[in-house]
Amino acid sequence: MALGIAIEVKNLSKTYKGALVPAVNNISFAIPKGEIWGLLGPNGAGKTTTISMLCGLLAPSSGDIHLNGLDYSSQRDAIKKIISIVPQDIALFPTLTAYENLEYIGNMYGLKGAMLKQKINDSLEVFGLLENADKRIEKYSGGMKRRINLIAGILHQPQILFLDEPTVGVDVQSRNIIVEFLHRINKEGTTIIYTSHLMEEAAELCTGIAIIDHGAIIASGKPAQLVQQYECLNLEDLFLKLTGRTLRD
C-alpha cells in the first residue's frame, strides 16, 4: 500500500443473496488522502453498495479494502475510529435533543467531559444551531436536521468521511454552509467520499470523481479532465454520455 492513499480497493465485488448479477463487479480504485472524491452514478448503479462496503455496513463477496493503510478484514475496530458516514437519511434519535444526540455519538468515539462539550458547542455554533441545542430533533426543520446530521458525522474529526447526498432537500443557505464546511474540513486533512445526483455541486466540490454504472467503474479522474477527454460541455453532459438517457429504477 502506497503512502498517501486514503482508500485502496482491489477487485471488490458484491452479489446479494439470490441475485443473478453482482451489484458491484470487480472494481478497483485508489483515492489519495486529502481528496474530495465523488462517486457518481444513476439509480441502481452500485454507489450505495460500494459506500456500504467501504463503511463496513456490508460484507464484500470478494476483494480487499484498505483505509489509511488499515485492512478492513482484520482491523475493523481501528478503522471505525477514523471514518464516519453522513447518510442521506437523518441517522439520529428523534426524541433526543441535538445536544443529547451529539453527546452520545461523542461518547461512542471516546470523547467526553469539557472537551466534548466544547466540540459540540463549537459545531452547533458553526451551523447556526446553538440556540436549538436543547430542542428535540423531531422538532427540527428539514434543513436543521441535515445540518445536525452532518455535525454528528464530523464531531470526532474523522480522517475519512463518507457523504451520501448531504445537501438533498436543503435550502440555499444551508447548502452554502454545508459546502463551505466540507471545504474547510477537507483543507484540515479529512478525505471526503461524496455521492450525489447534483452534477453542478459535484463539479464545484470534487477534486476527483468516478462514474459507476451496472456495478463497474466506467470512468475516473479529475472532473475537468474527464469533461475534456470525452468532449463534453460539463459534468452532467459527461454523465449522460457515459450512462445513457434511459430511465433507471
By C-beta, is 136 or 214 nearer to another protein? 136
Task: Give me the least distance between CB of 103 and another protein, in Å please.
Answer: 8
By C-beta, is 152 or 193 nearer to another protein? 152
Task: Give me the least distance between CB of 92 and another protein, in Å please.
Answer: 6
**Residues 31, 221 contacting (CB under 8 angstroms):** no
Residue entry with cell 441545542: 133
By C-beta, is 20 or 113 nearer to another protein? 113
Task: Give me the least distance between CB of 188 and another protein, in Å please.
Answer: 21
**In the chain, what's the furthest Cα-to-Cα distance?**
55
By C-beta, is 74 or 246 nearer to another protein? 74
- Residue 91 DSSP one-character state: -
By C-beta, is 94 or 142 nearer to another protein? 94
Report how far apart, in Å, the C-alpha atoms of 208 and of each of 50, 56, 128, 159, 191 are.
17, 23, 30, 17, 11
Instruction: Say how far apart CA 186 and CA 200 lie, in whole Å.
Output: 19
- DSSP letters, 55-81, are HTSS--SEEEEEETTEETTT-HHHHHH
The residues pairing with 9 across neighbouring beta strands, listed in sequence order, are 29, 65
Task: Give me the least distance between CB of 148 and another protein, in Å please.
Answer: 12
Residues that bind another protein (CB under 8 A): 55-59, 77, 80-81, 83-85, 87, 89-96, 100, 103-105, 107-110, 112, 136, 152
Task: Give me the least distance between CB of 2 and another protein, in Å please.
Answer: 26
